[in-house]
Structure 1
Amino acid sequence: MENELLSIKTNKILIFMYFICFSTAIWISQFVCLSIAKVTLNFGAREFIAEISGLPGNAEVLAQKTIFYMLMFGVTFGLRTYFGKKVKKIITITLVVDYLIAFRIIILLNFNYNGVLLWVFTNFLAHLIKSRFSGLYIGGGVISYVITDKNLASMWLKNYNIADYISVYSKDEQSYFYLTYNILNIMTIIAFFACCLFIIMKKDETIKKTKDLYEQLSLANSNLIKVNKELECMVEENEKLAEIRERNRIAREIHDTMGHTLTGIIAGIDACIALAKDSPEILREQLKLISEISRKGVEDIRASVSSLRPDTLERLNLNQALYNLIENTRKVMGVEVDYYCNEKELKLDEDEENAIYRIVQECITNAIRHGMATKITVLLEKRQFEIYLKISDNGIGCAEIKEGFGTRHMKERVEMLNGTVNFANKDGFVVEAVVPIRWGKEYD
């Protein structure tokens, strides 16, 4: 709104300057015409011609052309004001036309008035101040104003001088005409400086608004960053809540599965106790049933816990968790397990830790249960961009490697981390896995 008010003020000054230029140009042309008529009426034309430096030609035609061209200024100004914002080319075209009209008027007035160039120059500043060629326009305007000065032009052109025509009047009248002529020129210059002042104010206002807008955008960006961080925290909290809910769900499944399984086993054992003395065949069948229930319960529990993070990893880092796992295996099952790791504190993401821990756990279980192994070796190396894991045993191995629950589960875990896993029979069973690492936060 303030910018629009400033534009209105600038247009008012431009209109004021236009009327001053219009009045000055018309006054000079009419004054010359009337002065020639006065000289002719007093029969002093011969003496006057002998004393002056030049003649304007047909004074009446001069006055008419001056009026016409000054009115053309008004037309181009109107086109710029009302249509320039919609069609930018109109501004450039009308300013070029104004520049040509200004030179035509200066020539008609024999360089006695070049203030019309200030009018054109002011319009250039008002409309093209932001143009990349603004410096060229300013330089061209200054040069044009200098070379059209009447004193400079009279050095190589025989122009009529307004002073010659003022001299035909009495001294009192001459003072009045000189005063009028000088006042009109001074008013043109004053109007020019006033327009320049308002244009500069307009530019400063635009700069200020741009700066304020930049500060507002910076503040908005800071707020956006803050909100984004808050959203990230909320998303993280929601993910944790979802994980807790999922763990609770799985915990309930384990509770129900184990409750069902153990209840069936207890009931079966009670029945076996009752049948132990009298019905050995029925007892055998009952024990088979209990065995089936137990196996089914183990399978259900395994399916439920496959997505849980080991409790050991919640309390310890990966290296310590694996060490505890191996120590417990040695003590409870009496199997020799050697563990080698070249990194004391492995700094891995949670999904990487889970995968490596479960693979080691599954390999140890399979080696003892299926391979009848008495010695197991676990090698864990941190390389430049990956974790290399190798688990080998001295068990019986297998004639043909078939994809079962354990091997399929290991493959899925490793592939989710863009890694690879291979199985082989080499004096036992060997599992090799390579997992690309993304170094995470340090352990507490």
Structure 2
Amino acid sequence: MDFWILFTKLLLIIFIAFNFVQVNISDIAWIVLALLLYFSVNISKHIFKVNTVSVILLLLSMGISVVSYYFLHPLFSLLLPLSIVELAAKFIDKKMPILILSLIPILYLHEQIQPIYGLVAIFCLMIFSITSISSEKLEKNEMQIDAMRKSLQKLTKNINDNTEYIRQSEYTFKLEERNRISQEIHDKIGHSLTGALFQMEAAKRLMESDSQKATELLQNAINISKDGIENIRMTLKNMKPPTEQVGINRMKLLMDEFNSKEQIKAILTYEGNLEIITPIQWKVIHENVTEALTNAMKYSHATQISVEMKILNRMIRVEVKDNGLGTDMIKKGLGIIGMEERTASVNGKIIVDSSHSFSVTTLLPIQS
């Protein structure tokens, strides 16, 4: 805003300087001095931002204009309206009273200068109003940007805190799980093996003196060892998650990673008994879906991809379909050939359809 106000005043000074006619040579020095003094005062006003100093400098600027009008040249009156507008705007919000105040001096001016003074007063009010509105909008935008920056910093801090919390939680869960497994092995398997060791030590000592008792103790040790082995097997079985749980969670993780990195939205749906899918079939499904997602991201120009898994009576059907552009001719690259080879290795089949958008369907037989 300050720049445009100063620029307007400079234009007025240049206009006045080029319109001096019939000026005595002795008055030129005083005119130049008055113009320089006026411009220096106004520059000082924009340097000192204190409101009281600004008001004093504005009054001084108006005084220079009035004195120069009476003693040097009538055109100096054209410097008065913008100073009046600036001063009045500090105390009055409405534009019409400011315009009336800036036009009051027209009553005391020469008739020849009155029309141009009125035009300059209106022009100065328009410039001041435009610059004021622009300055307010700029200040409002800066405040919004600052608020958004603070909000972004706060969100970033929350994300970092949440990430650290998740990391610590995962580490704590791992420690708790390790502690639980260690305690379970100690309570069940450790006691069993210790009891079997005592039985075998006792049988060793009684081997020569009481063979029957030694045989009995050895049999007890064998039974205890069998129970220990069974406990180990049950513990490991309980620790190992079901295959279908691992498979579907891995697919969900693949979808989440894809959605977080790409602009295309991927949706996973599934129905049927997932327990009948074998680990090798899960591997083929996961790799085929990954390849199909990559191809759709590169070539389809789609906004959404659907991944649908259905367990039918005799087969497993996995379809990856996008809503992008199809093609009249399918060129089998390394990606599709790789999917066909992987699927064929488990007696399955790949169907590629590009008639409407693009879809890749994996068909796998259900193993009895």
- TM norm structure 2: 0.41
Tell me the TM-score normalized by structure 1: 0.35
Return the structure number with greater relative CO, CA threshold 8 A, min gap 6: 1
